[in-house]
Every structure is written in C-alpha cells, then in structure tokens.
Amino acid sequence: MIDVRVHSSRHLETKITYPISEHTSYDRDVNYYIFTPAQLHVSAGFISDEAMLRKFQAHARYSSPEITLDELLDKGNRTSPLVLLESYTQQRVERSGDVADTIFMHELQTLSNSFRHESGIILSECRELAKENKLDELRGLLQDWYKETGYAMERFRALLKMMRVHYPTGNRMVTAFEWADEAISLVVESTSLEMYLSLEPLFGELQESAYNLLRHSRAELGYRREQKYESVVSKGNRYSTEAVAYRSGVLKKWTQSVLYLTPVHSKAPQRVAGVLAGTAAAIAMTFATLAAIFAETFFLKNSMQWALLVILAYVFKDRIKEGLRALFSRVVPRLLADQISSFISPRTGKRLSRTKVVIHIKKASDMPPEIQD
C-alpha cells in the first residue's frame, strides 16, 4: 500500500513500507506516472532527465518500534530499550563495562520512539472505545495508562538521576537523557490531554478517569517546569507558545533521527556514462583519422579537394560523437539506472536496501493504455 501525502503545491511525498527479510533479498518495482499541464512545457525538449532527477529524492527509515508498555516494562525482556538502558547505566556507573555513547543515544531515541508509537495506538483505542461507549474496557485501558506510564517514567528518571550524579552538568550523556526525558514527558502529557478530550461525551460516567487523565497531564507539565525544560509555556511571554512548538519539533526530529538510514549514492551510472562518452569520442575520432588518411592518399595536401574532405570529415566527426552520446545516454538507464542509492544502517553499518531510479519523459499518448484509461 502506498501512502500519498501532499505537503504543499510543490512537495508531494509517497511512503511505502517494506519488510526486512531475514534470509533472502527481494525486488519491488514501483512505477510513478506524473502528468503535467501542457502549459508547463515539461517535456524532453525543455528539460533533461538529469534536471528532472534532481527534483526527486529517495529516503529510507525504520518503522517506529512496535513494543507495548507491558513489554517495555518487563525486566526479563532483553529487547526493551528501558531494560537495556538500565543495564548500560549500571555498567557505566559501576565501570564494569564499556558501552559506547552512541549505543546509549540509540537506545534513548528508541525508547522515546517506542513511547510515541505506543501512545498513538492507545489514544486511537481510547477514542474507539469512547465512540462505542464501552465504559468498562475504557476504564481498564485508562487505569493501565496511568499505572504503566507512571512506572516507566519513574524507572527512567531514576536512571537520569544516576547519570546526573555520575557526570557533571552539561555532559553530552546527561543532555541526551534530559532530551529523552523531555520528549517522553511531552508525549505523555499530550496523549493524556487528548484522551481527556475524547471522554467529553462520557464525563458523567467517567468523571474519575477523566480527572486522573487531567491530573496526569498537568503532573508532566509541572515536572518539566520544575526541571526547567524549554518545552513549557511561560506567563507573560507571547512567543512562548511558538517556542514550545518549535522545541517539540526539535525533540521529535532528534528522537526519530535514529530511524533514518544513511544514503550512499553510487557513482556507477556516471562512470559508465563517462566510459560510453569516451567510446563515442573514440569512434568519431577514428572516422576523422581515416578520412584524413584517405585525403592524404588520394589528394594533394592543401588542395581544394583535400580541404573540403577534411572539413566534411570534421563535421561528420562532431555529429557522430553527439549522436552516439545521445544514443548511449538512453542506453545507460536500461543497463543500470539514472540513480543508484544504497541505504546503510547507522548503527551496524550494514547495507539494508538499494534503490534504482529511472526517469522517462514521454508524451501522454505514449503511455500504456491501462494508464491512459
């Protein structure tokens, strides 16, 4: 399934989810047909494939970690980022292990992403239960939300306290823990508030649950104010709301940066194109050389016949070179692609996927019948 998102009149995004195979690789072909009005003059006569290629970008990222709050809190779950952080922090404080700072960063970002993803799922479930008026299930869901998020935050903030004792203020590890703490706090606050608003038609039946949600949300706001985090609206500052929105965006971008794969663009298409262009020049020069030898053999040097033959040879040499270059430029994408990119995992350094982009600029009448219909 392709998710199409229109960000603006000049920015269109398509999103496709591919599973990562554990044992075998596989290929997927995706064809995009983009039609433009004739007034824009987007045709092969006005724009080259290279210029059109610069208007497209391919990115790859991991999906958000799908881990429930129960799995996150399970101390026996060795894949839980919270459990891993507890183990790494203990090793760092006791100096019993050498865990790299980048590993800490990745787990902090993964923990924040896990919270964000699971909070979105729970919020959707809350809205569905409220719409269907399933009060008992809704009470249980909300009770688990207070309990599990509160316990998770308690355990994580104990780690933050340990790191603040172990490192001086301003240390990059302490800053990373604080950023993760602030990001998770924002998620818990906003999700609790959204849940509270979704219960508005049921306030009479779920008054206590609604009150607990509001208290939970305000507790996180008060905590961030106490910690002097930037994501708090201050009184008397009319720009603080925009500053909080900006801060929230920065934290979200930081936490999700661990999901993005590093693109490495292959130079193979350019190298093959260079070799073929050189081949075209060599063929053209061969023709010109043979023509010059022929002129030297059968005509007197510097005579009118000799000069005309050399001039014609030069003209044909230039046309042969340009014609072959145009031919080869159409052949290269068929052999390779206009652009080849590999995507590398930032943590393991392994290549996870590769994309090949081929662009054809054609008339609408040249499209396959099923596309025209």
Pair (83, 36) in one structural domain? no
Q: Give yes or no: residues 206 and 97 share one domain.
A: yes
Same domain, 151 and 229: yes
Q: What's the confidence (pLDDT) of residue 149? A: 94
Same domain for 79 and 221?
yes
104, part of any domain: yes
Do 89 and 225 lie in one domain? The reply is: yes
DSSP letter (8 states) at residue 261: P
How far is CA 241 from each of CA 186, 227, 230, 287, 369, rounded to the nearest angstrom? 14, 18, 11, 72, 53
Q: 335-351: per-residue pLDDT in tens? A: 667 788 888 887 777 88
Same domain, residue pair 104 and 220: yes
Task: Calculate the CA 63 to chain-centre distance.
Answer: 9
pTM: 0.73
In a domain, 312, yes or no: yes
User: Is 129 in the same domain as 93?
Assistant: yes
pLDDT of residue 238: 57
Please, are residues 265 and 339 in contact by the beta-carbon 8 Å criterion? Answer: yes
CB 114 within 8 A of CB 188: no
Do both 127 and 247 map to the same domain? yes
Last residue of a domain, one of 192, 226, 259: 259
Q: What is the DSSP annotation of 175-213?
A: HHHHHHHHHHHHHHHHHHHHHHHHTGGGTTTSHHHHHHH
56 in a structural domain: no
Domain boundary among 217, 236, 259: 259
Domain annotation covers residue 82: yes
In a domain, 244, yes or no: yes
120, 225: one domain: yes
- Domain contains 52: no
Q: Is residue 54 part of a domain?
A: no
Angle at 220 between CA 84 and CA 231, to 5 degrees: 95
The domain tally of the chain equals 2
Q: pLDDT tens per residue, the chain (373 residues)? A: 678 888 887 888 888 888 877 777 888 888 888 888 878 778 777 887 778 878 888 888 888 888 899 999 999 998 899 999 999 998 888 877 778 888 888 899 999 999 999 999 999 999 999 889 888 999 999 999 999 999 999 999 999 999 988 887 778 889 999 999 999 999 999 999 999 999 888 888 888 888 999 999 999 999 999 998 988 877 665 557 788 888 999 999 999 888 888 888 877 777 777 777 788 888 888 888 888 888 878 777 778 888 888 888 888 888 888 887 777 766 666 666 778 888 888 777 788 888 888 888 888 788 888 887 7
Identify whether residues 98 and 154 lie together within a single domain. Answer: yes
Q: Which domain holds residue 346?
A: 2-23+30-44+264-372
168 and 90 within one domain: yes
User: Cα angle vertex 83, ends 79, 89, to 5°?
Assistant: 125
Query: Is 50 a member of any domain?
Result: no
Give the bridge partners for 343, in sequence order: 263, 353
**Do 85 and 209 fall within a single domain?**
yes
Residue finishing a domain among 259, 282, 299: 259
Q: Helix 101-131 vs helix 135-166: angle between axes, to the nearest 10 degrees?
A: 160
Q: Which two tokens stand for residue 39?
A: 């007034």
